[in-house]
Chains A and B, each alone.
Chain A
Amino acid sequence: MRRFLLIAVPYLWLVALFLIPFLIVLKISLSDIALARPPYMPQLDLSAGWEGIRSFFAALDFENFRFLTTDDLYWKAYLSSLQIALISTLLTLLVGYPIAYAMARSAPEWRPTLLMLVILPFWTSFLIRVYAWMGILANEGLLNQFLLWLGVINEPLTILNTNTAVYIGIVYTYLPFMILPIYSALERMDDSLLEAAEDLGCSRMSAFWLVTIPLSKNGIIAGCFLVFIPVIGEFVIPSLLGGSGTLMIGKVLWEEFFSNRDWPVASAVAVILLLILVIPIILFQRNEQKQREAEG
């Protein structure tokens, strides 16, 4: 009984805060837009009894999902989100791996400090940090002023409101999610493995490719998913740092919801987004499980 209660807590949590909201969103996505409050039809009328429930379900349809296929804005936004997520995951990996590696190689007494420094940005509001990047990347921002002062450039670079700014913002924001799992994989690695590889004829470089990389593979995979999954639905960074050319599904969803007040279409967009995310989430879980089994 106590065991049941223990398991029940997380399940209740998931049901109350994930499953029920999802069902509500799913229901809205199957409804029609209405000039009402709330702005969709039908509403469940329990006072009409059995008849009310039947007419409620009869009014639900997949029209909004069909609508998503007729306008190419949506699938272009999905694809563009995937592309931005993929590229920025790769960039985050390229920046994050060396940092994680350097941390894992540093003297043990320094490691807690370095870890702290990686986590430190979380102590400030995410929005404030993104606004700070606007100040840095703007035409008359810090970066341009610095480059002009150095004489590297003659006129300010346009970075803000381009995809470059979005990539910078995403890499900056999600870097800790990449560094931490890779660091934890590298830190657990036994140094004598590298010595063994060298002893058996590897150069430093080939020992890195043949031993370090395979042994941090699970950390790399975990880090990539931890970046990739939230970036697909990212809304704040593209809307603040990106320009009119930056098309991401999170932004489309926001506009559909707040500008058009078309809750049913916005919900349909969200449901599809969730379905897209389910695939990498399952892959991520499988990777975690495999790792646990390997450590047995």
Chain B
Amino acid sequence: MAQTVFAPWEDPTEKPLIQFKNVTKRFGDFTAIDDLTQDIFEKEFFALLGPSGCGKTTMMRMLAGFEAQTEGQILIAGQDMARVPPNKRAVNMMFQSYALFPHLSVWDNIAFGLKREGKDKDKIAARVEEMLRLTRLSKFAKRKPHQISGGQRQRVALARSLAKAPKLLLLDEPLGALDKKLRQDTQFELMDIQEKTGTTFVIVTHDQEEAMTVASRVAVMDEGRIIQVSTPAQIYEAPNSVYVADFIGDVNIISGRAKPEGDKVAVRWAEHQPDIIGTTSLPFADGQEIHFAIRPEKVAISAEEPQDAANKIAGKVLDIAYLGNISTYHVELPTGHVIKAQTANTRRLSRRQITWEDPVWISWTDTAGVLLER
């Protein structure tokens, strides 16, 4: 059975739910969003990822209607949102601080938006109960926000923002205040709820792990621009720039000069060292500056010289970071470069073969890394 992959962004006939068209936002002299064009599709779980000050929160606040763009156009479901105030948008937001009304009970918090629509009481009650069930909060309906835990508050905020069944739900660092374990559980819960309700989610986060876990597509932002938009796997395996490669996960970057050899490219990176061979579809000119990026888990480490590796370099173990399930070896090359190599700890610690100061070989295949222009 052929499984249909959810990828509306690859279908040119699909109409996007949200369209940013050459949007620029300035606060005085500061440009928060710089000529940004981006489509987001229905039922997507779209993550805006970047360091603080990259403009991701501004993008979200423009969608909610709290900020107006300086230039350009924002469309939601084909409608220009320029003059639409926040309370007239079919968009709801889950705030970073949760912004629960402290004077209202959990029940009343969730009912708040529904009551503003002037629906009749039975319908409101039914919807609130449904939301309470969805977020497993039925027991806490009568409590005030200060009488429940952080995780529960987070679920109240989610229930409240979902209660009006918005076309689009905005989540501003929704899990920032939770501890790691709870955060991971909640990430799956979020995905589950997103699937159940079929709502389009746009999430803002600075936590790359979170973005990778929940999102259908991730947009990596920096200084008001989107650097790359792609699926989490693409972002991780095929970053389009050193910035993205470095921002997502751990990476080794080696810079050098390109020397195309058929469908391969050799990277001359140091004298008296063999060229690094990589595969790319990008056209590189001879002698062009090039950056080779490889993830630590794709670098193999061994005590003996490997026989059939496309790339192998000798070095010395500088440091070992033991993380329980995996270990990261910092290997110093004769050139002074330090390369991180990661291996799963399938054996017990006491039987580890490689230790500090050991001479080792690191190796990888010719498709393990990516070659980047910038």
Contact = CB atoms under 8 A, between A and B. Distances in A.
B199 to A, nearest CB: 15
Contacts of B176: none
A281 interface: no
Interface string B153-193: 00000001100100000000000000000000000000000
Interface string B65-100: 010000000000000000001110001110111011
B116 A192 contact: no
Contact of A195 (B66, B103, B116): B66
A193 B146 contact: no
B95 A200 contact: no
A33 B160 CA distance: 70
A200 B103 contact: no
B284 interface: no
Contacts of A196: 93, 95, 99-101
Contact of B164 (A198, A200, A202): A200
Interface in A197-212: 197-203, 206, 210-211
B64 to A, nearest CB: 6
A215 interface: yes
Nearest to B96: A192
Given A192-B95, A196-B93, A201 B117 contact: yes
Ranked 8 nearest A-B pairs via Cβ: A200-B113, A201-B116, A196-B99, A192-B99, A198-B86, A214-B103, A192-B95, A201-B87
A201 B66 contact: no
Given A192-B95, A197-B112, A201-B113, A215 B87 contact: no
A196 B97 CA distance: 10
Contacts of B160: 200
A201 B161 CA distance: 11
A296 B146 contact: yes
B249 interface: no
Interface centre among A198, A200, A206 (most CB of B within 10 A): A200
A203 B87 contact: yes
Nearest to A200: B113
Given A192-B95, A294-B102, 10 more contacts: A193-B99, A193-B101, A195-B99, A196-B95, A197-B101, A199-B92, A200-B161, A201-B113, A206-B116, A296-B146
Interface of A: 190, 192-193, 195-203, 206, 210-211, 214-215, 217, 294-296
A206 B86 CA distance: 13
Contacts of A211: 101
Contacts of A195: 64, 66, 86, 93, 95, 99
22 contacts: A192-B95, A192-B97, A193-B99, A195-B64, A195-B66, A195-B86, A195-B95, A196-B93, A196-B95, A197-B101, A198-B66, A199-B64, A200-B92, A201-B113, A201-B116, A201-B117, A203-B87, A211-B101, A214-B103, A215-B102, A215-B103, A296-B146
Interface of B: 64, 66, 85-87, 91-93, 95-97, 99-103, 112-113, 116-117, 144, 146, 160-161, 164
A198 B99 contact: no
A192 B161 CA distance: 14
A228 to B, nearest CB: 23
A201 B85 CA distance: 10
Contacts of B97: 190, 192
A203 B86 CA distance: 9
A190 B116 contact: no
A203 B85 CA distance: 9
Contacts of A190: 97, 99
Nearest to A295: B146
Contacts of B116: 200-202, 206
Contacts of A202: 87, 116
Contacts of A295: 146
B131 to A, nearest CB: 13
A193 B103 CA distance: 11
Contact of B85 (A198, A200, A215): A198
A14 B87 CA distance: 54
A28 B117 CA distance: 65
A215 B164 CA distance: 24
A230 to B, nearest CB: 29
Interface centre among A192, A203, A294 (most CB of B within 10 A): A192
A150 to B, nearest CB: 41
